[in-house]
């Protein structure tokens, strides 16, 4: 029997068939979309996995002005790059190892140290460690040994974390090495944490093998003493050690007691728990160390305050008025848009360093603050005096650096060292020559501080040193222009004519060479009918510069041609010979002049005590004029001091200068009855800015500067603590909460009734 489908049944079947077809088509269409999504997910997973590179540049970072910053944006190092914190930590550790290599390169290139293998008799296939030493280790009378703490740090570092986050100046040892070298010390930089290596002897198995002579930090220290310090000529040794480095010092003193007692005159420690480490050695060792070892520890007392002693060392405070975290949170650290940057109107490097030190450790004595305020007010009221002081200060170079170069007893005798000493001695003479002018200007002042500083400049020893220098140095200006050749000519004629016959003979030969070069200059100018001038560079030697577009034919004796913009530089065979002749004469003159200068320095060295007072005087004068210039230009007022703090219409000093809009003035009032203030408000309303403003104005007032307000009265505080923002720290294993609790605990343990505490959220 045949069954006939109705129309409705047929339509239903067609709809089912169409639905199945559409379903299949949808699955086909969805498949590539899902594949795309899957591929995107895989790409995101790849981006969230750390890829190890072999250089900082491939990570997008480099060291610029001593700080690790992004190559593209100049922003500091960023930890949170991946969503997975484990991958962030892997990236951080890899970058840390690359920072180690960068520091090693800087020790060799910048500090001019050489890498020495430990052990010294290592075989080719043997794994080794290394240290860094200066090239005068065998001959120098003075030696500094630097020992870092435990952990991941390597040679040349105090803290890898500080190098990455704050820069080389704070986290590395290079500043200490530079100062030691400038003072004539040989240097040994130890590497106590490189103790072992991983040996893969069997498939899928590895063993940790110690490095001979460096299996522990203590063994490394003793090996360095036996093979490097003991054979050296140094009779005066000082040691600088951080944290666990103190234990290494104890071990060296224990094994080499007699030699240690005879040759080591000072040991400086920082944050080293010597009470724990001292239990390992005998009492006679501790007694010997106690006479020459000081341990500086973090404390709320002023820097260098005596905190007592223990069995093996004296203890002193390394504490500062403003703790390190607060200095960054409140904007004290040097950098753009900081309190340091808005006050940086100093004219000398010494003044800048003194300003930085005062920001980190303001005054707490009211009389001393008034003393400075009177000097600032004197300069603000007397514009002529301030202009004279500022103009004279521009002639002062870094006196501190000059003194360090002059007090070396066993200096290097190379041409480069001779050039440096000749330049320094001439700078010293010019500084002493201009001192009477500064003294005359300060005699017009009415403030007691400026008058006292003026009396320091009247020390008769300055004139004695100047007379000794003028007896042998040229007082006339030989060359008025600047440049490479002018600097060489000034060095050539540094010593008075007639003082040394050999020197006069060599200088006469130099004049002949210069005359020959000038003759060639005139000859080529007439030949080409174009302006021609000669110059001297370190790479080309003497060359002739043809000024303008040159389209003529050069003579056959031209050996090199270079074009720069519209000028053509040519060197002939005769000029090349004259360059060689000039260089030989110049080197001989520098070495001969250096011998005379070393004798001269020996004569003035007994009178050099006054120069340290000069550094202090110039630094304070420069800082005071900086305060005066900033206060006058930005309409600051002189603050008063009393039992309460009350500021009317106070302005944030940084926003007042750098802000895009004029800051809103706020009133601040703190007193005994109202010593806790709770600041509330919506997000982005300026609560944190208001808190920072209080701390910055307090510091401005206590360093002796005027403040941005209509009226101001402050209560003197002895410490400033702040907790404005805290982050988790995977390096130390602290969460955000743990970090905040530790910071609050530190504040509670250290605060006093005279503390200013700022807490944000």
The pLDDT score that the predictor gives to residue 749 is 80
For 134, 392, 395, 435, the CA distances from 625, given in Å and listed in that order, are 41, 12, 15, 17
Closest Cα to residue 388, out of 347, 354, 428, 418?
A: 347
Count CA within 13 A, CB hemisphere, residue 361: 11
Contacts of 60 (CB under 8 A, 6+ apart): 70, 71, 72
> Is 497 a known active-site residue?
no
Q: Are 329 and 725 in contact (CB under 8 A)?
A: yes
* Cβ atoms within 10 Å of 471's Cβ, excluding its own: 11
The reported pLDDT for the residue numbered 468 is 92
User: Distance (Å, rounded) from C-alpha 268 to C-alpha 274?
Assistant: 12
Instruction: Given the residues 172, 232, 243, 445, select the one marked as catalytic.
Output: 243
Q: Are 684 and 692 in contact, with CB atoms under 8 Å apart?
A: no
Give the HSE-up count for residue 609: Cα atoms under 13 Å, Cβ half-sphere: 5
Pairwise CA distance, residues 643 & 529, whole Å: 81
Query: Which of 245, 266, 96, 60 shows the shortest CA–CA distance to 171?
Result: 96
Cβ pair 754, 717 in contact under 8 A: yes
Instruction: Tell me which H or E stretch contains 206.
Output: strand 205-210
3-state SS assignment for residue 542? strand
Q: Report residue 576: phi and psi, to 5°.
A: -65, -40
The CA-based diameter of the chain, rounded to the nearest angstrom, is 143
Q: Are 347 and 354 in contact (CB under 8 A)?
A: no
Residue pair 150/217 in contact by the 8 Å Cβ criterion: yes
- Is residue 701 within 8 Å of 639, Cβ to Cβ? yes
List the structure tokens of 372.
């400075």
| Residue 203: per-residue pLDDT | 35
Q: What is the mean pLDDT of each run of 10 residues along the chain (761 residues)?
A: 38 43 44 41 49 85 89 86 78 89 92 92 88 92 92 90 87 90 91 75 53 90 94 92 90 91 92 70 86 82 77 76 49 58 86 88 89 93 90 84 74 86 89 91 91 90 92 74 81 90 93 92 87 86 86 82 83 92 94 92 86 90 92 90 90 76 82 79 79 89 93 89 63 65 78 82 71
The contacts of residue 524 (CB under 8 Å, 6+ apart) are: 532, 544, 546, 570
Element (H, E) at 209: strand 205-210
Q: What is the model's pTM?
A: 0.56
Task: Write the DSSP assignment of 224-286 as a string of letters.
Answer: HIIIIITTS--SEEEEEEETTHHHHHHHHHHHTHHHHHHHEEEEEEES--HHHHGGGS-HHHH
């Amino acid at each position: 029997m045949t069954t006939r489908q109705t129309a409705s049944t047929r339509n239903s079947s067609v709809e089912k068939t169409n639905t199945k077809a559409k379903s299949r088509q949808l699955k086909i269409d969805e498949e590539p979309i899902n594949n795309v999504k899957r591929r995107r997910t895989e790409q995101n997973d790849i981006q969230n996995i750390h890829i190890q590179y072999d250089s900082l540049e491939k990570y997008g970072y480099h060291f610029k002005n001593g700080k690790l910053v992004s190559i593209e944006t100049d922003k500091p190092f960023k930890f949170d790059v991946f969503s997975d914190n484990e991958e962030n930590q892997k990236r951080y550790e890899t970058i840390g190892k690359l920072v180690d290599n960068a520091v090693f390169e800087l020790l060799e290139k910048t500090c001019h140290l050489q890498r020495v293998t430990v052990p010294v008799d290592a075989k080719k296939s043997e794994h080794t460690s290394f240290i860094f030493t200066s090239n005068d280790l065998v001959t120098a009378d003075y030696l500094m040994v630097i020992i870092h703490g435990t952990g991941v740090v390597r040679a040349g570092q105090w803290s890898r974390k500080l190098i990455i986050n704050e820069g080389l100046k704070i986290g590395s040892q290079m500043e200490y090495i530079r100062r030691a070298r400038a003072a004539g010390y040989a240097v040994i930089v130890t590497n106590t944490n490189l103790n072992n290596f991983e040996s893969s002897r069997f498939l899928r198995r590895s063993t940790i093998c110690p490095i001979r002579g460096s299996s522990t930090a203590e063994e490394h220290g003793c090996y360095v003493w036996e093979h490097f310090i003991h054979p050296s000529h140094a009779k005066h040794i000082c040691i600088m050690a951080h944290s666990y480095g103190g234990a290494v010092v104890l071990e060296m003193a224990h094994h080499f007691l007699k030699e240690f007692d005879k040759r080591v005159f000072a040991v400086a420690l920082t944050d080293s728990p010597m009470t724990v480490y001292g239990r390992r050695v005998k009492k006679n060792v501790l007694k010997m160390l106690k006479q020459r070892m000081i341990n500086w520890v973090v404390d709320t007392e002023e820097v260098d305050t005596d905190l007592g002693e223990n069995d093996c060392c004296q203890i002193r405070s390394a504490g500062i008025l403003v703790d390190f975290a607060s200095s960054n949170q409140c904007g004290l650290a040097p950098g753009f848009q900081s309190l340091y940057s808005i006050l940086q109107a100093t004219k000398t490097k010494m003044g800048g360093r003194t300003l930085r030190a005062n920001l980190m450790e303001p005054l707490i004595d009211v009389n001393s603050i008034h003393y400075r305020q009177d000097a600032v007010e004197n300069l603000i009221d007397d514009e002529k005096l301030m202009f004279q002081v500022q103009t004279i200060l521009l002639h002062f170079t870094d006196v501190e650096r000059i003194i360090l170069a002059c007090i070396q007893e066993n200096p290097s005798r190379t041409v480069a060292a001779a050039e440096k000493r000749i330049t320094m001695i001439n700078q010293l003479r010019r500084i002493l020559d201009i001192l009477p002018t500064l003294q005359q200007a300060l005699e017009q002042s009415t403030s007691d501080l400026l008058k006292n500083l003026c009396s320091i400049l009247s020390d008769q020893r300055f004139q004695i040193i100047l007379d000794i220098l003028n007896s042998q140095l040229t007082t006339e200006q030989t060359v008025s222009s600047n440049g490479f050749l002018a600097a060489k000519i000034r060095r050539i004629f540094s010593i008075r004519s007639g003082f040394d016959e050999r020197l006069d003979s060599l200088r006469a030969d130099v004049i002949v060479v210069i005359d020959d070069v000038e003759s060639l200059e005139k000859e080529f100018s007439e030949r080409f009918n174009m302006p021609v001038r000669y110059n001297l560079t370190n790479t080309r030697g003497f060359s002739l510069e043809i000024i303008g577009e040159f389209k003529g034919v050069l003579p056959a004796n031209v050996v090199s041609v270079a074009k720069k913009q519209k000028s053509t530089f040519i060197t002939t065979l005769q000029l090349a010979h004259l360059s060689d002749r000039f260089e030989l004469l110049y080197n001989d003159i520098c070495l001969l002049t250096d011998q005379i200068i070393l004798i001269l320095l020996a004569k003035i060295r007994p009178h050099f005590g006054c120069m340290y007072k000069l550094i202090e005087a110039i630094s304070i004068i420069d800082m005071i004029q900086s305060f005066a210039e900033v206060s006058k230009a930005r309409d600051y007022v002189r603050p008063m001091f009393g039992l309460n703090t009350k500021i009317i219409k106070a302005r944030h000093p940084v926003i007042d200068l750098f802000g895009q809009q004029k800051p809103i003035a706020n009133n601040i009032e703190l007193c005994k009855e109202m010593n806790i203030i709770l600041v509330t408000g919506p997000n982005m309303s300026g609560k944190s800015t208001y808190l920072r403003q209080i701390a910055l104005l307090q510091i401005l007032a206590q360093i002796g500067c005027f403040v941005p307000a209509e009226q101001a009265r402050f209560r003197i505080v002895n410490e400033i603590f702040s907790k404005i923002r805290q982050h988790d720290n995977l390096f130390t294993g602290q969460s955000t909460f743990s970090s905040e609790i530790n910071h609050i605990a530190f504040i509670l343990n250290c605060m006093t009734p005279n503390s200013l505490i700022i807490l944000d959220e």
